[in-house]
Every structure is written in C-alpha cells, then in structure tokens.
Amino acid sequence: MGEFCLVHLHKSFTGDEFPPDDPTLPVSDYAKLGALKVIDSEPHSGSGSVTGMYVTASDQHEIWFYDAGLHRLERLDLDYLAYLDAVLVTKGTCGWQYLFADVDLNTTEMHTTAVGLNVMLEKFPEQFPEYDYEPLRQRLEARL
C-alpha cells in the first residue's frame, strides 16, 4: 500500500501547503520540520507524513521525509529530480523514502516498513519490468 501527492513547486514555496506540527521531535528537527516546503504528501491516507524541501542558509536545497507515525524526520540522499523519479518507480509504497535515508531498517520500530519494502521489491519487477529495481534492492540490503 502507498500513496503520493506531488505538490507543484510554485505552490510549495508560495501557497498554503504547510508541514505538520510535531513538538515531540528534538528541537533542531522541530525547527527544520516547520521550515519544510512540502513537495509530496499523503492526504487520502491521513498519515500526516510529508516530504519537503529545506532551503539551507547557503541556499542549498535538501530533501527531508517526515514520518508522522514514527515521529521521525530524515534527510534523504536525493535531489528534487531524483525524488520525482524514485516516487514514480516505487509507486509511493509506504516508507520507500527510507531507502534513501541513513537508517537501520532492522529494528522493531522499522519492521513493518522493511517487510513492505521487501514485498515491493519482490513484486514490482514482475509487474513493472520496464524499471530496474536492482539499485533499490541494494539500498534495502544496505539498511538491513
């Protein structure tokens, strides 16, 4: 299962797309979450999870994923264009963003996410043979 809802960049930077509020995050993450420009969300599932662009003091753009269910904010090893490619290849599978974060998926907290990603990488190559899922499989193995 999964979902994605890409937000037009113009709306992200000038519209009414606001990141969620999570005061349970550490202070530095809480401030970063509040500064995100939302580029992707999950409005129909109601999960509250979003991906956003963070503009650093030196005008660099970073992509961050906020998992509302796990109260985690993770920087992704992707730029905006790579994010767009990845969301289409993964079809918005729940937690796919963790394949691009510095996380350990071999924990109790991340078990369900890891199982879902394994299923995705088992089934999608058959269903969508036009995509190469091997790089994603390698990323998953590196995080287990």
pLDDT digits (tens, 9 = 90+) for 56-73: 889 899 999 999 999 999
Please compute the mean of the pLDDT values over residues 101-119 and round it to a whole number.
97
DSSP summary character for residue 97: G
Assess whether pLDDT exceeds 80 at residue 109. Answer: yes
Window from 40-44, 56-60, 72-76, 124-128 with minimum mean pLDDT: 40-44
Helix (H) / strand (E) element for 89: namely: helix 80-90
Contact yes or no for 118/79 (Cβ under 8 A) = no
**Dihedral of CA 70/94/66/17: which sign?**
negative
pLDDT digits (tens, 9 = 90+) for 6-30: 999 888 888 777 888 999 999 999 9
Summary mean pLDDT of the chain:
93
Assess whether pLDDT exceeds 80 at residue 1. Answer: no
- pLDDT for the residue 17: 76
- pLDDT for the residue 16: 75
- pLDDT for the residue 46: 66
